[in-house]
Amino acid sequence: MCGKLCNFAKQVRGSRWLKKASEELKLELDDHEVFESWYWNLVCYHYSGPTDDQPTLFESFLATRPRLSAEEKTLVWAFRQARVSIFRILEIQAGQAVLMEDQLCPAQAWVAEPALAEPDMVNAVILGRLAQVGQEVVLAGMYVRPMAAWKAQMIVQEMRAEAALSLSPELLRQPKWVRRLSERWRLGFQELDECSMPLLVTAEGEELCWVRDRYIFPAEEYGNVRQALEQFPELYWESPREARWIVGPSELGYLAFQENSLVLECNSEGRAERLGENLVALAIPGLKRARRIRRGIHSDGRTRQGLLRDEAIRRAYLHWSRQWPEEALPGLGGLTPRQAMRSAVGRRQVEAMLHEFEFYQATLSPAQAISLDGIRQQLGLPLPD
């Protein structure tokens, strides 16, 4: 069906329309997995145009009364009824299906999706599109990265407020709402990357840090190494030489082949060690770790090794809170929060970041969390009610 829609788009709307669609949706064509699993579906089924003044490509295609097989007619009905929303995985049937709960329009459904039916996916929050095909509900497109649960809840609250509490599956099928939700989801990851979040800890209790390992092997062994890595179901290949390591709701690392080496980048030392152990267990002749680079991503640049106790986490947050007002941030265009406060736009950006930090702190235990009232007082911002 996607192939037919693609050919129809080229014939009827032309390359200029597709170019406008790419610009409007901010498609990153080099991010193949996101493009193919989510955004291409968005173009085909949900995108009408920059001004929403024409039918979607899907509806225009159907208006031509194309000859469809019985199976394709079933798909047409399914995609017309499909809903895009934010879903949380409640239960799994190992290797078969997952019970998904709609976070925007309360509803639950068992979804036949073996790729998500893994133990680590319980409580993962995803942006996806559910369609009922025959007697089964299937996942017909998903943004590749699950979202941190607390951040997803922020987005849910924002979307409900924006829709004046009148969200419904019918509303979320409208092109503008599908596009809005997709944009907000991607912006959420950008905000997480740019806002200088306080110390973050992995599910295993380790501090997040950047670790880069380089494993070397004889050049003639490349084919064996590449084939051996196919044994890892958690690796999602973006190209024959690059993959992301995703387990449950978390992206744990990234790997890329070079001429005679494999470079691994992970977000904690423990995870880097586990992936390295799995590689060594493959018993590839000549494979060995040649180099490690480690850098803390906490604002003071230090890396705290091992599991962290509550008091260590709280101390790290307190240290961060003292440094943050004077820290130059990419999300503020390289300004510090204190400098950004000099303009109305910068002030709103700083307040949005603090709101995000406070939302995150509310998810922590009382032994770990801190108040951000001190930062607000330093910057001359009102205290929250």
Cα–Cα dist 275/113, whole Å: 26
303 confidence band (pLDDT: 50, 70, 90): very low
Task: Give span(s): CATH 3.30.310, the chain.
Answer: 209-296
The encoded tokens of residue 87 equal: 């879903």
Judge whether residue 226 has pLDDT over 70: yes
Class of domain 2-194 as given by CATH? mainly beta
Q: What angle do the packed helices 2-12 and 14-25 form, to 10 degrees?
A: 120
pTM: 0.66
Pick from 19-28, 127-136, 158-167, 233-242: least confident: 19-28
Residues 239-253: tens digit of each pLDDT? 888 888 876 656 778
pLDDT at 366 over 90: no
pLDDT of 195 higher than 50 = yes
DSSP assignments along 260-319, one per residue? SEEEEEESSHHHHHHHHHHHHHT--TT-EEEEEEEEE-STT-----SB--HHHHHHHHHH
Read off the pLDDT of residues 61-101 as tens digits, 9 standing for 90 and up: 989 998 888 888 888 888 888 889 999 999 998 878 999 99
What residues does CATH 2.40.50.140 cover in the chain? 2-194
- Range with the lowest mean pLDDT among 50-59, 167-176, 351-360, 363-372? 50-59
Q: Which range is least confidently modeled, 50-54, 158-162, 169-173, 351-355?
A: 50-54
375: tokens are: 């930062």
Most confident of 4-8, 262-266, 370-374: 370-374
Region 256-271 average pLDDT? 82
Predicted pLDDT at 297: 42
pLDDT bin (cut points 50, 70, 90) of residue 109 is very high
Give mean pLDDT, residues 199-205: 60
Percent of the chain at pLDDT above 90? 12
CATH code of 209-296, in short, is 3.30.310
